[in-house]
Structure 1
Amino acid sequence: MFTHIERSRPAVLPTTSPSLTGFGMALPETLMASSEIDRRLGKSAGWLETACGVATRHVARPGETQERLGAAAARAALAEAGLKLSDVDLLLFGASVGRQPIPATAPLVKRELGGAAFGFPAYDVNATCLSTLVALDVAGLHIAAGRARHVLVVTAEIASRALPWHDAPETAGLFGDGAAAFVVSAVGAGKASGARFGGFLMETFAEGYDACTLAAGGTGIDFHADREAFSRSAYFRMDGKALYRITAAALPGFLDRLLEASDLRRKDIDLVVPHQASPHALTHIIRRGGFAPDCVFDRVRTIGNQVAASIPVALCMARNEGLIRPGMRVLLIGTSAGVSLAGAILET
């Protein structure tokens, strides 16, 4: 049962909030249609798209590794920011599932970028689907503390692995692969143009912890003691109804607190770029969030749910399509396993 907890009003971010001065994304070359999966599953044509609402999704092939996709996006972001890797003070990798439990994936991305000779730190930030949004906030905190001038935030997800095609294909059909990256710079440290990042808020409703899981690979199940249980738990599981109950109850109040912290109202938001979780989830954002449908960026039907890469890839796509222009306020918002909600305001 969702319970509301009174929270103190977060402070409005100062005008010295950092800016996103470089944007980049990378998508696997293969675009897999739901009709192809229908044939593989022995289903009638159109079954999967009807069941999950996703028509196509990018799927990584051998050689399109997580670190290569992430590095490709990072190079594009650095190029736009006019920076070299040697200018970076910190690399944050935000993803729900990394290359392996140990070590973190960030050093691997750094090595892929050719940065082994540079001493700047690189580590992972994991808040499942909200990982990149949280990593952007962490980057801002480092900049505000004077510990960094340029932070490279990278995400890459290969969400097409560990999916429950055998017993929940309507859930498995939601997911796709992708990568994105941003350069976060202190005021005056990078290009004059960019998008100011601020107004961040995150809340966690831990009663939903068991509603979205990938239980194998950590300390919960000992592979050597119970290999059968480990194998069963190596597939992604999601209780969509439980997730909906929590987010439906929490979202309106969460949005109120986020916008109030930024001294904004819903009518002040020019574009909403949500986590592309599912077509149903985006309908939920529109209905419960109080936004007009044409104000919400929706590409989930063609790219699927890219987990932590979802919001950043969608942001890059909206920008590439000319939907983000100077003087706009963009709301980034999403949910994650745990269950958490997070949002941030971009001022372009």
Structure 2
Amino acid sequence: MTASNGSAAITGTGIFLPGAPVRSDELDQRLGMPRGWLEDKCGVQTRHYATEADSQESMGVAAARAALADAGIEPDDLDLLIFCGAVGRQPVPATAPLIKRELGLSARAFPAYDVNATCLGTLLGLDHAAMAIATGRASTVLVVVSEMPSQAIPWKQDPTTAGLFGDGAAALVVEAGRAGDMCLGPLLMETHADGYEYCQVGSGGTRYNPVTEAEAFEDNAVFSMDGKGVFKLSSRTFPRFLDQVLDRTGWSLGEVDLVVPHQASPHAISLMVKRCGIRPEQIFDVAKTMGNQVAASLPIALHQARLAGRIQSGMKILMAGTSAGISLGAMTVTT
């Protein structure tokens, strides 16, 4: 399909996976647990962790250069850069200017800013890119996400939650007015704020003063999750949300050729398949071998689906998932 009438298309994808895959049985040894314990609890077999040579910006730039090459364009062709990681390099300033600088684009005056919807950040970034293109504010947008949850996962407090996560980066080039592999529909999103405390890192903002509340600041500097709360809220709300998404797009679930979900966990994806009536062959699932890479999960899965030949011309694709907040989100793609 050709992008037209101000619509936007993904014309390039790229990823970066740091280090060698870390197996769950290796982590079992470190935790002093029997072989197979962690994989049984969290469902993840392998994941990647950033090495000493990796930084959030270096990972993001590597993914960005891969996406630019895939789209056949140069960094100088960009006129907007959006970073959409759940946790940036630091609270102030935003991470996008650093990515822009590392790409050698400091002399270019185009905007670079962050958006944040935690695990749904990439969908929000794509929506911002599409809106910028539709309004004529940009023509070539780079959406970048780089995540390093390994720096703040609760191995001591909650190892079965810690075992879910992996590091990684992804980037997507979005353009208008040209043939694109994947043309974007609108972002549909809703937030159930009663789940605000279910997934959180409490420190790093205004909640705890690092000087006067140093102990509380340190205690809340790692990720915490109420797994039961997330499960109950998501299982209650997501099937209805998916029905609304399909109703608005005019698609039936049977017409969807591929569902690319946020890779929250193997158990969460299995639940989504069962609760929503999705056929197993409709799902692209890499959670067992990648873990939950936060906002990088979905675009990494999309890239891997392309490499695996799962995305072909004439398909209807649904990208969907949940995020801390608790929010639900989905975006359609046609090829």
TM-score by length of 1: 0.94
1:267-314 C-alpha deviation (Å, 9 max, x unpaired): 110011101111111011101221101111111111100000000000
Q: Is the 8 A contact 2:86 2:121 kept in 1?
A: yes
Equivalent of 2:70, from 64, 74, 80? Answer: 80
Residue 56 of structure 1: CA displacement?
0.6
Residue 323 of structure 1: CA displacement?
0.7
SS of structure 1 residue aligned to 2:190: strand
1:79-120 C-alpha deviation (Å, 9 max, x unpaired): 121211111110000110011111111111111111111111
Question: Where do 5+ consecutive residues of structure 2 fail to align?
Answer: none
Identity among equivalent positions (%) equals: 52
Q: Is the 8 A contact 1:23 1:316 kept in 2?
A: yes
Query: Does structure 1 residue 234 correspond to structure 2 residue 234?
Result: no
Q: What does residue range 276-291 of structure 1 map to in structure 2 within 5 Å?
A: 276-291=263-278
Residue 193 of structure 1: CA displacement?
3.3
2:20 maps to 30
Query: Does structure 1 residue 332 correspond to structure 2 residue 319?
Result: yes
Residue 254 of structure 1: CA displacement?
0.8
Query: Does structure 1 residue 212 correspond to structure 2 residue 199?
Result: yes
Q: Is the 8 A contact 1:199 1:258 kept in 2?
A: no
Residue 199 of structure 1: CA displacement?
3.5
Q: Is the 8 A contact 2:4 2:177 kept in 1?
A: no
Query: Does structure 1 residue 343 correspond to structure 2 residue 330?
Result: yes
Equivalent of 2:262, from 275, 288, 304? Answer: 275
Question: Where do 5+ consecutive residues of structure 1 fail to align?
Answer: 1-12
2:99 maps to 109
Query: Does structure 1 residue 122 correspond to structure 2 residue 112?
Result: yes
Aligned length: 333
Query: Does structure 1 residue 307 correspond to structure 2 residue 294?
Result: yes
Q: Quote the Cα distance in structure 2 between the aligned partners of 1:183 and 1:264.
A: 26
Query: Does structure 1 residue 222 correspond to structure 2 residue 209?
Result: yes
Q: What does residue range 195-210 of structure 1 map to in structure 2 within 5 Å?
A: 195-210=182-197
SS of structure 2 residue aligned to 1:281: helix
SS of structure 2 residue aligned to 1:181: strand
Q: Quote the Cα distance in structure 2 between the aligned partners of 1:174 and 1:193.
A: 34
Q: Kindly report structure 1 stretches of 4+ aligned residues shifted beyond 2 Å.
A: 13-16
Q: Is the 8 A contact 2:24 2:39 kept in 1?
A: yes
Residue 15 of structure 1: CA displacement?
5.6
Q: Quote the Cα distance in structure 1 between the aligned partners of 2:78 and 2:276.
A: 37
Residue 14 of structure 1: CA displacement?
8.3
Q: Quote the Cα distance in structure 1 between the aligned partners of 2:72 and 2:284.
A: 28
Q: Is the 8 A contact 1:30 1:60 kept in 2?
A: no
Equivalent of 1:65, from 21, 38, 55? Answer: 55
2:132 maps to 142
Superposed CA RMSD in Å reads 1.2
